[in-house]
Amino acid sequence: MNFHSRAIIHLNNLHHNYQKISSFVGRNTKIIPVIKADAYGHGITRIAKELSIYENIAYLGIAHIKEGVMLRKKGIKKPILAMSCVDSFDMETILKADITPVVHSLELLERIKDYAKTNGIKIDIHLKFDTGMARLGIREEEVESALSICRKNKGNINVIGLMSHFSDSESDLDWTKRQLERFKKVIKLFGDGGIEPEFTHIANTGAILSLKDSHLNCVRPGLGLYGYLPEEKFKNTIDLKPVLEIQSQLINIHMLRKGEGISYGRTFKAKRDMRVGVVAFGYADGLFRALSNRLKCIINDRMVSSIGTICMDMFMCDLTGIQANVSDDVIILGKSENNSITAYELAEQANTIPYEILTNIGKSIRVKRVYRSQ
């Protein structure tokens, strides 16, 4: 198959980022690298294999049970923590794949307890508490009930971890501190009740950088692993390098005459004669249509503007005054010698966040994923 487009994963940058984060939190803090959502678009299996060399990893963090099952089938041996979409009906699959579930409600805790009792087994779990995200988690008024269930069923439930999740760690430090204090009260309550889990964790990338007190004994970096920060204001805090690069090719070059429109809806009309390039990358490849007439790309180390509405398979750009030929490479995300395009910039232009850019761009089967170690 002839691939015009490539998602290039720079593994040396991945290792650089992991080591920087590990050094930042210190040797006594374990790490749960978050590799859900296909490792933020970087390829979950390969990223898991690369990160498995590190001894300070407590778990590999996933969302769906299916992600964990796939990793086991691919030979990944590291402990796996399923952080979101867990149900007691999945317990047979969870146990067979040796996945540790995160329990986020009293109802789920009761069902897992009943399953363990019925089968005469003891199940390791992490308990998740809602300290302000208001999404998943045992609520403040339910904490004592959760503790009671765990204390009465120690023969069937082993609480190996307590966790929560920050809602605004990158921008509201006061609120983040309030969430942390709520979580610490939960930890103390469980400790006073005779349950002292091995792992306590709440810090995402933003909190890792903004609130050292939140590191506890384990952290969960996600976006930072892949070279980005939730806010650019943190860029002087830690040296991270983008892991993902997206390249495509020019597949056609033609003239657009003054007054002519281009692409669907003719949202761009030429004010002069123009030389136009057509790039083999569109919204089916994860390039948001909202970037139409805003997107920049790099061709032969020159910054080039897109023109017209982004199509399913292609977008067009202004090559006037640019030395370029059919089959020349086009950088959509990444850098050349003198220019660069980051997920921050694409996110700003599309009115979204870097997470959404990374988890969408380049996911089409028409985009070949290439892993590079140098």
- Name the helix (H) or strand (E) containing 119: helix 106-119
Q: Which residues contact 235 (CB under 8 A, 6 or more apart)?
A: 229
Set 96, 188, 258, 264: catalytic member: 264
Q: Is 264 a catalytic residue?
A: yes
From residue 166, alpha-carbon distances to 88, 177, 204 in Å are 25, 10, 7
Q: Given CA atoms 107, 113, 117, 123 in this order, what sign does their dihedral have? A: positive
| Main-chain phi, psi angles of 319, to 5 degrees | -100, 10
Query: Rounded to the nearest 5 degrees, what angle is found at the Cα of 47, between the Cα atoms of 46 and 53?
Result: 100
261 - beta bridge partners? 269
Q: Is 228 a catalytic residue?
A: no
**Helix-strand-coil split of the chain, %, nearest 5:** 35, 25, 35
Residue with token string 């123009």:
274
DSSP for residue 138: B
- Least Cα distance to 45 among 21, 80, 1 occurs for 80
Count other C-beta atoms under 10 Å from residue 330's C-beta.
Answer: 24
- Strands 244-256 and 274-279, bridge-based pairing: antiparallel
Which alpha helices (DSSP H) does 193-270 contain, by range? 205-210
From residue 220, alpha-carbon distances to 34, 81, 111 in Å are 6, 11, 27
Q: Quick check: helix, strand or coil at residue 162?
A: strand
Set 18, 30, 36, 228: catalytic member: 36
Token digits of residue 37: 């959502």
- Asked if residues 299 and 250 have their Cβ atoms less than 8 Å apart, the reply is yes
- Name the helix (H) or strand (E) containing 367: strand 367-372
Task: Give me the active site residues, please.
Answer: 36, 264
